Each structure stands twice: as C-alpha cells, then as structure tokens.
Amino acid sequence: MKTTHVKRAFKYRFYPTDAQAAELSRTFGCVRKVYNLALAARTQAWTLRQERVNYNATSAMLTAWKKTEGLAYLGEVSSVPLQQALRHLQAAFTSFFGKRAQYPRFKSRKKSRKSAEYTTSAFRFDDGKLTLAKMADPLDIVWSRALPEGATPSTVTVSQDAAGRWYVSLLVEDPGVKPLPVTDTAVGIDAGLDHLLTLSTGEKITNPRHERRDRARLAKTQRELSRKAKGDGANRAKARRKVARIHARIADRRHDTLHKITTRLVRENQTIVIEDLTVRNLLKNGTLSRAISDAAWGEFRSMLEYKAQWYGREVIAVDRWFPSSKLCSACGTLQDKMPLNVRTWTCDCGIIHDRDVNAANNLLAAGLAVSACGAGVRPQRESSRTGQSAMKQEPLRHEP
C-alpha cells in the first residue's frame, strides 16, 4: 500500500541576476494580464448570456490571444505560469459558487502579489540547483534549511514582495510530518490584546505588539512617502520600498512568534479549543482595529488548524456567541454584563475569577462537550489550495 505524505511548501530567499529579474518581472506582468483577461471574459459571458466559461474555454482563449498583435508578447514567457493563472481563477470561481468566497477581483499592477507558479514541465531541479523555463542559469537560492531527503518539488512558486525581496517556494512531500503520539491533554485558549493568548492552565502568553515597536519609524517613512510627488517615479518608488521594508520586518517577527506558539500548542495537546472569532467584523472597531490586526488572530487559527491536521490533533472552534467571559466556570452562573475593563470579578458563589483564565476554562469545557455531543461549532474552514476541510468533520454552528 502506497504511503501518502503531507505536501509542504519550503520557502527560500534568492537573489536573481539582472536578466533573471527582468524575465520574472515580465512573467509576473503576463500572469496578471492573462488572469484579468480571463476574468473579464468570464464576467462578460455571464452578464450578457448567463453562460459559465470554464478553464478549458479560457485556455483556448489564451492560445488565441497569443496570436493577436497586441498580445503577442504573452508568447515570450513560459506558458506554464499563464496556464496556472487560469487554474487559479477557476479555483476562485469554484469557491465563489460554493459560497466560500467573494466574487474574484481583478489583479492590480501596484497592489496585487507578484508571483508565478511553475509545474514540473517548466523547471529543472538537479543536485540542489533550480533552473526555471526560459532561463539559462539556476537561481541563486539561500538554502536556509534543508529539504526532506530525496524530495523533488511538484510545483515551484516564485514571488517578489513589496519590499523588493525575491522568494521561491518549493512544494514537496515531507515524510517527516507524521501524527504525534495520542495524549489525553486538552487546552482552552482565550485570545486577547493585553495578553495575546490565555490558556485554561492559567498560563498567559505576552502580546509582543510587533507593530508598536516600529510605529515611530513607520510613521516617519510614511510621512516621507506622502511628501513625494506622485509623478516623481524613482524617488517615490524608493520611499515606498522603505515603508514596505518596515511592514515586512513587522510581518516576519509576527509570523515567527505565531509559528513557535502554534507548534508548541499542537505538540503538547491532543485537543485545542478556541473561540470562533469573526476578525473581519472586529476590525470595524476603530479604537481597537490596529491592535487586533497586529495580534493576527486569524493567522493564529489558520496555523493551528493545518498543524493539527499534520500531527493528528483536533481543533474545536466554539460558537462566537458562547458567553465565555460572563459565565462562572465553577458554578455556571451567568452574569448580566461584563464590560471589557473588568479584568477580575467575583461570582455569587464566592469564586474570584481572572476574566481571561475563566473564559479559557469555559471554552475548554464547551469544546469538550461539543466534541462529545456535536453542537455549537462552526464548520472547519477550507484550505485555499485544496478546497478541502482541514479536519475530517466538525458540527455546524447554530445561528443566533
């Protein structure tokens, strides 16, 4: 019986030559153009004729576009990233029709992520050297960590971030990712701002507030950018990169912190119970939106879920309307009100509660009850890559 390993992306920074950078920049532009052309064609077909255009039809359109005088330049780059762009658009429409995402949007030259995906027919990987189609020399990759022994990439994604840094991501099967030994430990987690996370064990994880550390420097560079005239191309671009580099540094620190925390939680606990927070709605709070965005609760949940899937753990998301903060974890008494400024409170039964620890304990109890009887949980969010649930099954949440 063939063993199926987890597919995992390994991301590395690389330094392209001028010729490679120019080729990749052309490819990024062509990928964006093809995506937008196909999206416009599909939208027009539906608007005018109520006709659904699929991937095969847009692939035929791509062949025709390359033969026109205005779009002949599409044939100068590798065709594989262009076909992959059409597949990504098909996946976006599938998610839209499945009511899992909004209608696909056009890619912006200034704001959209610059990336191109190559499949096995468009790259060569030999002895740790990666050479892409249309390129004579391999990429100068900084191998910051080793790939799994004997691993061969199935897809390669090249990207450039707003700070101008180049990255290559290799998707490989990782035989080292296996379910961990089953334990009987479970933990409830309450997300917050004073403390990033509070565990039902009583442990509180400090909120690093990564954005606050660079706020003064970020504000200075943003003021410098605002003073550059919009027509001043080179100087404005330079100022924009300075701002982007600070944002990138903040994001890097945040990712590092979340990876360490989620890996530890998954390794130590068989069952992890969290609250089903709607971060998008919470960000509408003008007073707290900056702090909530910096805490990255959505990213924390995403990391926790895919790592739990990798290692055979269970993540339970308790209904967002569950009154975890107002409920006494000792006697079950429900308080009428619990303002955010109340950090400790005394129940009628005489127990003095730390607000966050009490909430974490209530989430744990509710999560374990949900696991047993199957009620009050939101369906597991789907993977953007596979469209499949990250967990085998999770009961539906009851709407209020």
**Domains of the chain with CATH codes:** 6-174 (no CATH), 186-207+252-373 (3.30.420)
122, 132 Cβ separation under 8 angstroms: yes
Starting at the earlier edge strand, list the strands of the sheet with 6-14.
114-119, 155-160, 166-174, 6-14, 141-142
372, 364 Cβ separation under 8 angstroms: no
pTM score, two decimals?
0.82
Catalytic residues: 190, 275, 356
Instruction: Name the 3-class secondary structure at 385.
Output: coil
User: What is the structure's pLDDT at 388?
Assistant: 40
Which residue, chain included where needed, has tokens 């924390």?
Answer: 300
pLDDT tens digits for range 77-98: 999 999 999 999 999 999 999 9
312, 339 Cβ separation under 8 angstroms: no
- AA letter at 69: E
pLDDT at 2 over 80: no
What are the structure tokens assigned to 322, written together? 């569950």
Radius of gyration, alpha carbons of the chain: 24
Mean pLDDT over residues 317-333, rounded?
Answer: 86
Query: Helices (DSSP H) in 194-232: which residue ranges?
Result: 210-213, 215-226
- What is the distance between the alpha carbons of residues 44 and 344, in angstroms, rounded to a whole number? 58
Query: What are the C-alpha distances in Å from 165 to residues 71, 285, 305, 323?
Result: 29, 33, 28, 45
What are the structure tokens assigned to 318, written together? 């308790």
User: What is the structure's pLDDT at 394?
Assistant: 36
Mean residue pLDDT across the chain: 88
